[in-house]
Chain A
Amino acid sequence: SQQGEEDPQALSIQEGENATMNCSYKTSINNLQWYRQNSGRGLVHLILIRSNEREKHSGRLRVTLDTSKKSSSLLITASRAADTASYFCATGPNTGANSKLTFGKGITLSVRP
């Protein structure tokens, strides 16, 4: 069953603007992670937020997590053309050895120069 559901599915913005992407999930989680994927390439880990955290920053990235609403948002500030990629949220049920990630459908971000 689908866990993370991102919205919007596609986002086009101008360089310098902020991009906000949302993700919702269905089951209880231990952590939620965001990944970036350039076209046809590997998945690059961006940021992990634990279920007991509400907000986390990493450079131009800000992630929020609302476990009561089972949702997360990824904010990219001052976007650059190089941020053009697909973004996935993925949830982890626990931190043990069996903790596979369940991915949602990606959001395609296009940043126009």
Chain B
Amino acid sequence: AAGVIQSPRHLIKEKRETATLKCYPIPRHDTVYWYQQGPGQDPQFLISFYEKMQSDKGSIPDRFSAQQFSDYHSELNMSSLELGDSALYFCASSLLGLAGEKYFGPGTRLTVT
């Protein structure tokens, strides 16, 4: 079965640079969630989209923005990167009505040097 696809899997950037992470949800899933997981930390919710509209917002810095496109894929744009942004970034997708179960992608490991 198709899973959530994230690209790139690994990304190395320098401070103050910009990064774009992409997420391709499971086909027919209408909701996308972004999570950030720092080293040894639990995943923290950043933002979610339902039917291409932002549906919820968590602890996402103002330097970050995201959107969901007409084909339901989503991109997380991160600007003015800081060392503390180094983390695993997960995307998850779900289908409204599937009782809350989320399917997570493999994550993008971002390293800021």
CB closest residue in chain B, given A89 = B42
Bitwise, B57-100 to A at CB < 8 A (1) or not (0) is: 01000000000000000000000000000001010100011011
Residue B105, interface by CB 8 Å? yes
CB closest residue in chain B, given A5 = B42
Cross-interface CB contact of B100 among A44, A92, A104, cutoff 8 Å: A92
Residue A54, interface by CB 8 Å? no
Total contacts A-B at CB 8 Å: 67
Residue A33, interface by CB 8 Å? yes
Most B C-beta atoms less than 10 A away, residue of A45, A96, A99: A99
CB closest residue in chain B, given A42 = B106
Residue B33, interface by CB 8 Å? yes
Which B residues from 31 to 68 make CB contacts under 8 A with A? 31, 33, 35, 41-45, 48, 50-51, 55-56, 58
Min CB–CB distance A15 → chain B (angstroms): 25
A96 touches B42 (CB 8 A): no
A95 touches B50 (CB 8 A): no
Cross-interface CB contact of B43 among A31, A43, A96, A97, cutoff 8 Å: A43
Residue A75, interface by CB 8 Å? no
Cross-interface CB contact of B55 among A98, A103, A105, cutoff 8 Å: A98
Report the bound CA distance from A97 to B68 in whole Å: 14
Task: Return chain B residues, CB-CB under 8 Å to A105.
Answer: 41-42
A contact set with B: CB distance below 8 Å: 30-31, 33, 35, 40-45, 48, 50, 88, 92, 94-106
* 11 cross-chain CB contacts under 8 A: A31-B99, A41-B107, A43-B43, A45-B103, A48-B100, A48-B101, A97-B50, A98-B48, A100-B45, A101-B92, A103-B44
